[in-house]
């Protein structure tokens, strides 16, 4: 199996994944989209890559909408609720009305503590949290809610109502079709350190697919658009800028 085939699926968190299902366009589509204004096409790798860099550096972003990627995503519901705030893209989600939800919930390795300065953020926890007890209570509560869900269905309750007891830690699945411009915006906001850690992991997985399919655009993104805030991408940006 080649490296390109291996990255077609990336596991995320404890039970999630991202799969690249379809891809259209790529770096050449960006170049063609930009040069159509002058009725010109591809001019060779050196000139074409230089154009991609120019477009990114000067925020000429519409040509990047010519490349499209389709992903199959499995993530906790609370991650998807943040995901769908990115409105430029098409979503189709697994339905809890048509089918019964599986007993699959996100179990964190540990609980982070509340950041008192950033009220929507978190910090690595120290001894102030009894991790063993917190995880035990968390998994116990999840087990109880799923048992109630199954009991309601067994009693004849409609799936669309029984699902109301399920927590946002439940895993869901959806298809997401997005153009390269919007994907870069997602990575810019969701891989950054102020985003919730769990969605950062999905953003990093998306970045791997993006880099594989559109290497020129990816390099240009890191050089000219990425502002920093994630050690993985910061290190790669430093390597590009040092080359």
Instruction: Tell me whether residue 190 is one of the annotated catalytic residues.
Output: yes
Buried b (16+ CB within 10 A) or exposed e, 116-144: eeeeeeeeeeeeeeeeeeebeebeeebee
Q: Are 166 and 157 in contact (CB under 8 A)?
A: no
DSSP, residue by residue, 126-184: -TTS-HHHHHHHHHHHHHHHHHHHHHHHHTT--HHHHGGG--TTBEEEEEEEEEHHHHH
180-190 helix and 197-213 helix, angle to the nearest 10 degrees: 140
Contact at 8 Å (CB) between 43 and 50?
A: no
Cα of 159 vs its chain's centroid, Å: 28
Sign of CA dihedral 99, 186, 230, 7: positive
| Beta strand 113-114 pairing with 122-123 | antiparallel
Tokens of 86: 């990115």
Question: Given 35, 159, 181, 190, which residue is catalytic?
Answer: 190
Residue 215 sits at the vertex; the CA angle it makes with 209 and 174, to the nearest 5 degrees, is 20
Catalytic residues: 190
């Amino acid at each position: 199996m080649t490296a390109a085939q291996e990255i077609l699926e990336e596991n995320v968190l404890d039970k999630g994944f991202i799969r690249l299902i379809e891809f259209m366009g790529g770096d050449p589509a960006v170049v063609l989209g930009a040069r159509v204004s002058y009725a010109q096409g591809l001019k060779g790798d050196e000139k074409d890559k230089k154009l991609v860099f120019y477009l990114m550096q000067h925020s000429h972003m519409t040509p990047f909408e010519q490349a499209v990627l389709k992903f199959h995503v499995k993530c906790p519901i609370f991650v998807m609720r943040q995901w769908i705030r990115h409105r430029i893209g098409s979503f189709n989600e697994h339905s809890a009305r048509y089918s019964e939800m599986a007993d699959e919930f996100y179990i964190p390795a540990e609980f982070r503590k509340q950041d008192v300065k950033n009220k929507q953020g978190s910090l690595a926890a120290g001894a102030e949290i009894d991790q063993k007890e917190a995880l035990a209570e968390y998994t116990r509560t999840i087990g109880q809610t799923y048992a109630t869900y199954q009991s309601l269905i067994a009693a004849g309750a409609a799936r669309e109502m029984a699902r109301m007891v399920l927590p946002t830690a439940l895993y869901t699945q959806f298809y997401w079709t997005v153009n390269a411009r919007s994907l870069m915006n997602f990575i810019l906001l969701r891989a950054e350190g102020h985003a919730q850690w769990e969605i950062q992991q999905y953003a990093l997985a998306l970045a791997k697919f993006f880099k594989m399919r559109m290497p020129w655009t990816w390099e240009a993104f890191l050089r000219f658009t990425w502002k920093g805030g994630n050690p993985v991408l910061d290190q790669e940006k430093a390597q590009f800028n040092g080359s």
